[in-house]
């Protein structure tokens, strides 16, 4: 079997489930009758979002002690955690910076990385490595939402995006997964559009959407440039977990061209 078609009784752990892509991943998995467990730092927020439709494991990918309970009896992991590319409240500075300190944080990437509890280096590099280390050895697939630009960090616009190290951190996360020996699929989306609008960027300000008009384009070798619908990224995560074509594959995903009436994920994946 190459794609998910029938109801299954396998458990999927979703990290970053309260985020934009993560919420959609959970919805897609529930539609396909997977058992879903989520790892969250905030169980009240998760309970409000998902009622009792998911199992909730309280934890933080930056704290390895919280991970063993979350990964127990899981067949697949979909990791959609992330933080902002530039310093923001989501980097969790303690104590909260004054206005002057914010200026200093923006002027000095090394200083802001050192001060933050939840920077890309902590979440996307160390946190992902922690999750990989905790994953069961018989895991059937580890799906990671990474980012376009990892192999083009010195080229515009990725040189700007990486000013505070988000692409360096995603790359370290990817390397931890690839060298782990686990079965994996790494998805590198372009700039995210479509709701839930959870990022702090121009696309969120403009509520940018595909309006269901654009096709899905996959590529390898980090050559694509463009926007990617959170809806399609989430579907790609869920469709890939049981698809053999995506095993040990790293691919870019953007939306481009006219959308066909049905997206044939198996054909898209078979081209990788």
Ligand X SMILES: NC(=O)c1ccc[n+]([C@@H]2O[C@H](COP(=O)([O-])OP(=O)(O)OC[C@H]3O[C@@H](n4cnc5c(N)ncnc54)[C@H](OP(=O)(O)O)[C@@H]3O)[C@@H](O)[C@H]2O)c1
Q: Which residues bind ligand X (CB under 6 A)?
A: 15-22, 39-42, 45, 60-62, 80-83, 118, 123, 127, 145, 147, 189, 191-192, 198-199, 230
| Strand-pair partners of 116 | 93
CB nearer ligand X, residue 4 or residue 62: 62
Instruction: Give the shortest CB-89-to-ligand X separation in angstroms.
Output: 10
- Residue nearest ligand X, Cβ-based: 19
Q: Which is nearer to ligand X, 159 or 244 (CB)?
A: 159
> Minimum distance between the CB of residue 197 and ligand X, rounded to whole angstroms?
8
Report the nearest approach of ligand X to the CB of residue 5 (Å): 26
Q: How far is the CB of 146 from ligand X (least distance, A)?
A: 7
184-189/141-145 β-pairing: parallel
* 8 vs 90 by CB, closer to ligand X: 90
Identify the DSSP state of 149. Answer: T
Q: Quick one: 91 or 269, whose CB is closer to ligand X?
A: 91
Q: Least Å distance between CB 65 and ligand X?
A: 13
Q: Residue 50: which residues within 8 A CB-CB, separation 6 or more?
A: 17, 26, 38, 56
Q: Measuring CA to CA, which residue among 251, 213, 244 is closest to residue 229?
A: 213
DSSP character at residue 164: G
Residue 57: CB minimum distance to ligand X, A = 10
Closer residue to ligand X, CB minimum distance, 45 or 267: 45
- Using the minimum distance from each CB to ligand X, give the nearer residue, 41 or 153: 41
For 42, residues 6+ apart whose C-beta sits below 8 A from its C-beta are 18
Cβ–Cβ contacts within 10 Å for residue 233, how many? 25
Q: For the chain, how far is it from start to end, CA to CA, in angstroms?
A: 17
Phi, psi for residue 147 in degrees, rounded to 5: -160, 145
H helix or E strand, kind and range, residue 24: helix 20-31
Place of tokens 């040990």: 248
């Amino acid at each position: 079997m190459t794609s998910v078609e029938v109801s299954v009784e396998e458990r999927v752990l979703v990290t970053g489930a309260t985020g934009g892509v993560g919420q959609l991943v959970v919805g897609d998995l529930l539609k396909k009758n997977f058992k879903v467990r989520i790892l969250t730092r905030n169980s009240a927020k998760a309970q409000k979002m998902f009622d009792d439709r998911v199992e909730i494991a309280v934890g933080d990918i930056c704290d390895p002690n919280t991970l063993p309970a979350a990964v127990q009896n899981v067949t697949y992991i979909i990791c959609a955690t992330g933080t902002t590319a530039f310093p923001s409240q989501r980097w969790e500075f303690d104590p909260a910076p004054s206005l002057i300190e914010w200026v200093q944080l923006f002027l000095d990437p090394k200083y802001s990385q050192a001060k933050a509890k939840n920077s890309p280096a902590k979440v996307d590099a160390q946190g992902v490595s922690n999750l990989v280390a905790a994953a069961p050895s018989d895991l059937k697939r580890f799906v990671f939402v990474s980012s376009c630009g990892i192999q083009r960090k010195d080229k515009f616009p990725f040189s700007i995006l990486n000013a505070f190290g988000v692409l360096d951190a995603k790359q370290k996360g990817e390397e931890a997964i690839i060298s782990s020996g686990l079965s994996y699929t790494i998805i590198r989306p372009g700039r995210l559009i479509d709701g839930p609008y959870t990022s702090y960027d121009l696309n969120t300000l403009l509520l940018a959407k595909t309006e269901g008009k654009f096709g899905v384009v996959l590529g390898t070798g980090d050559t694509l440039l463009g926007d990617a619908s959170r809806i399609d990224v989430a579907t790609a995560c869920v469709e890939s977990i049981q698809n053999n074509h995506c095993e040990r594959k790293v691919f870019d995903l953007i939306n481009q061209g006219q959308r066909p009436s049905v997206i044939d994920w198996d054909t898209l994946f078979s081209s990788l």
